[in-house]
């Protein structure tokens, strides 16, 4: 007599097409007696009956063509540089991923031919300001510096691991912050919009508590956006941390610690305080906010931040020039 | 450099594109969504082409990313109200013709209504299985153990059968014949 598990095995391994007559007869008897298996069989046949579809022969060529075209164009449209929860995601991912392609395939900092903006020098000694309030950045009504003092200029990046623009922007931000290491204190703060972002934020601070931020940050982005593993459960995070040398007990201790609770709550409060509506967003010296929707490209976004850092450093001094905008 | 990347992409992804698209269509139930989905997978593949070139089985990687993107899409749909949610009938109707019996069209209509009401993971498992992948291959794509896969496939089929019965209540032969 055939059992339910045997019928499942026949279905799952696709062996129903070659059944011996006596097995087929046993299967039919089982189906007649077992409503649950009969339902499963009926559902299987319904799905299998959907005729296979052929892709449009030109679809692959179109996709390849877009990759090629985007690579030549280099720069995506400004709104596509930012994660906006109300924008259709596939379009967003599509265009921003192409920007990431450029990141992967171009030398860091490589100038874009024919782009006048790249020919303008923006540095500490350059008093000319290229970017304007309202268009390229906005000013917070009240300064909200996280660390007070006249030392390094504080730059806060509000980001989300599930945000593809954040992934694509990361190498730009990293390269820039290393070049300005003496003048800039970069702090990354994950936003906590929704359960997935909150889970990732907790993982971010657990990594920080374990002294593993550097090892995990880029790997986390790549796991989500390149490997396609959303890391959307605690078990998945445990496995991911384990691959990077953090055992389960150590991970859980950090992940569930009150200190991490506090850091996640602080991250949530900061996003509200800065009035952040999309990622990546950058807050310079607790005073200026800029982000993907205010820049034409990731390179321009970095230049905006750089200029505001320069100005913040200059205008913090006791003998701030009259040209200071605040 | 772009040229070589494009060529590598075509060489690595091209042979698997039809399989990706067929699976994407069964997953999403709509040609336009299948095109969106394979495009997302292609873009990710292009970003990771150096790594993909080194794999023995790029198809496994491609289908794994596609599966993840699709299952993860539930969260996206909640965040992207401009995008149609999972509430539209699935699968293009087969072209009417002498080979299409009224019963077959009726069955297709029932599935079309029931499919979007099934959970995304259940749809993904049933769709990939219907594409001919066995439990070993499904394990490679989804990361779910074979024991759990067997149980989940069974639950998905029973659930679909229930939804088909419910759909039957609102789609009659008479309606199709008009």
User: Across residues B9-29, what is the average pLDDT?
Assistant: 91
Name residues whose C-beta falls within 8 Å of residue B48's C-beta, 6 or more positions apart in sequence: A226
Residue A195 pLDDT > 80: yes
CB A225 within 8 A of CB A163: no
How many Å from the N-terminal Cα to the C-terminal Cα in chain A?
85
Q: Residue B105: what pLDDT? A: 65
| CA–CA separation, B64 and B48 (whole Å) | 14
Mean residue pLDDT across chain A: 77
Q: Residue B170: what pLDDT? A: 43
| CA–CA separation, A82 and A103 (whole Å) | 16
Query: CA-CA distances (angstroms) from residue B130 to A39, A137, A321, B11, B69?
Result: 16, 52, 71, 27, 19
Name residues whose C-beta falls within 8 Å of residue B70's C-beta, 6 or more positions apart in sequence: B24, B27, B28, B37, B120, B124
User: Considering only A47-61, A125-139, A226-240, B62-76, which range has the smallest mean pLDDT?
Assistant: A125-139
Which of A98, A194, A226 is facing B48, going by the closest CB pair?
A226
| CA–CA separation, B117 and B121 (whole Å) | 12
Partners of A283 in the β-ladder: A156, A289
| CA–CA separation, A16 and B130 (whole Å) | 13
Read off the pLDDT band of B70 (50, 70, 90): confident
Counting every residue written for chain B, the total comes to: 178
User: Across residues B89-107, what is the average pLDDT?
Assistant: 58
Read off the pLDDT band of B10 (50, 70, 90): very high
Instruction: Answer with the residue of higher pLDDT: B47 or B78.
Output: B47
Q: With an 8 Å Cβ cutoff, are A86 and B80 in contact?
A: yes
Q: Residue A113: what pLDDT? A: 33
Which of B2, B42, B130 is facing A68, going by the closest CB pair?
B2
The pair phi, psi for residue A105, each rounded to 5°, is -100, -5
The pair phi, psi for residue A16, each rounded to 5°, is -65, -20
CB B64 within 8 A of CB B58: no
pLDDT tens, A268-299? 888 888 888 788 999 998 889 998 778 878 88
Secondary structure of residue A190 in the 3-state scheme: strand
Q: Residue A146: what pLDDT? A: 61
Instruction: Answer with the residue of higher pLDDT: B78 or B63.
Output: B63
Residue A76 pLDDT > 50: no
Write out the H or E segment, with its range, that includes residue A36: helix A35-48
CA A12 to chain B, closest CA, distance in angstroms equals 6
Q: With an 8 Å Cβ cutoff, are A13 and B44 in contact?
A: no
Q: Which residues of B touch A86 (CB under 8 A)?
A: 79-82
Chain B touched by A98 (CB under 8 Å): yes
pTM of the model: 0.51
Residue A236 pLDDT > 90: yes
User: Across residues A74-88, what is the average pLDDT?
Assistant: 40
Peptide linkage before A280 cis (omega within 30 of 0):
yes
CA A287 to chain B, closest CA, distance in angstroms equals 30
User: Across residues B9-35, what is the average pLDDT?
Assistant: 89
User: Across residues B48-70, what is the average pLDDT?
Assistant: 86
| CA–CA separation, A67 and A95 (whole Å) | 9
ipTM: 0.78
Mutation target vs A (from B46, B134, B160; most A CBs, 10 A cutoff):
B46
Instruction: Give the count of alpha carbons within 13 A of A251, CB side only.
Output: 19
Chain B touched by A235 (CB under 8 Å): no
Q: Give the whole-number percent of chain A exceeding pLDDT 70.
A: 75
Residue A220 pLDDT > 50: yes
The pair phi, psi for residue B11, each rounded to 5°, is -70, -35
What is the DSSP track for B143-171? ---HHHHHHHHHHHHHHHHHHHHHHHTT-
């Amino acid at each position: 007599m055939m059992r339910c598990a045997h019928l499942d095995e026949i279905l799952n391994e696709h062996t129903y097409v070659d059944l011996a007559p006596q097995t087929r007869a046993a299967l039919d008897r089982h189906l007649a007696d077992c409503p649950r298996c009969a339902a499963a069989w009926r559902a299987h046949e319904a799905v299998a009956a959907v005729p296979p579809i052929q892709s449009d022969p030109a679809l692959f060529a179109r996709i390849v063509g877009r990759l090629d075209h985007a690579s030549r164009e280099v720069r995506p449209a400004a709104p596509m540089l930012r994660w906006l929860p109300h924008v259709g995601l596939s379009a967003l991912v599509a265009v921003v991923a192409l920007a990431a392609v450029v990141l992967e395939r171009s030398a860091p900092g490589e100038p874009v031919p024919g782009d006048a903006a790249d020919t303008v020098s923006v540095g500490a000694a350059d008093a000319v300001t290229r970017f304007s309030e309202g268009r390229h950045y906005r000013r917070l009504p009240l300064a909200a510096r996280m660390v007070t003092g006249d030392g390094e200029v504080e730059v806060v990046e509000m980001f989300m691991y599930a945000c593809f623009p954040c992934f694509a922007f990361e190498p730009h931000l990293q390269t820039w912050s290393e070049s300005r290491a003496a003048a800039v204190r970069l702090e990354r703060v994950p936003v906590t919009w929704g359960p997935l972002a909150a889970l990732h934020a907790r993982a971010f601070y657990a990594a920080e508590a374990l002294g593993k931020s550097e090892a995990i940050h880029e790997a986390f982005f790549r796991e989500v956006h390149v490997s396609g593993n959303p890391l959307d459960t605690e078990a998945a995070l445990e496995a991911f941390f384990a691959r990077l040398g953090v055992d389960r007990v150590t991970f859980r201790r950090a992940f569930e610690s009150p200190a991490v609770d506090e850091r996640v709550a602080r991250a949530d409060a900061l996003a509200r305080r800065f009035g952040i509506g999309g990622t990546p967003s950058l807050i310079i010296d607790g005073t200026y906010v800029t982000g993907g929707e205010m820049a034409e490209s990731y390179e321009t976004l970095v230049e905006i931040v750089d200029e505001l850092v320069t100005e913040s450093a200059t205008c913090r001094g006791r003998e701030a020039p009259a040209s200071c905008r605040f | 450099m772009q040229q070589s990347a494009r060529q590598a992409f075509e060489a690595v992804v091209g042979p698997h594109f039809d399989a990706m698209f067929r699976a994407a269509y069964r997953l999403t139930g709509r040609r336009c969504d299948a095109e969106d989905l394979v495009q997302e997978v292609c873009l990710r593949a292009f970003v990771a082409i150096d790594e993909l070139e080194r794999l023995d089985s790029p198809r496994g990687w491609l289908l794994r990313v596609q599966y993840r993107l699709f299952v993860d899409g539930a969260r996206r749909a909640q965040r992207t109200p401009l995008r149609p949610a999972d509430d539209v009938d699935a699968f293009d109707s087969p072209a009417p013709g002498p080979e299409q019996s009224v019963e077959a069209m009726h069955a297709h209509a029932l599935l079309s209504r029931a499919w979007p009401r099934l959970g995304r993971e259940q749809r993904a498992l049933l769709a990939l299985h219907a594409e001919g992948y066995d439990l070993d291959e499904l394990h490679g794509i989804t990361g779910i153990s074979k024991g759990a896969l067997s149980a989940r496939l069974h639950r998905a089929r029973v659930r679909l059968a229930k939804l088909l019965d419910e759909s039957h209540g609102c789609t009659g032969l008479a309606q199709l014949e008009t």
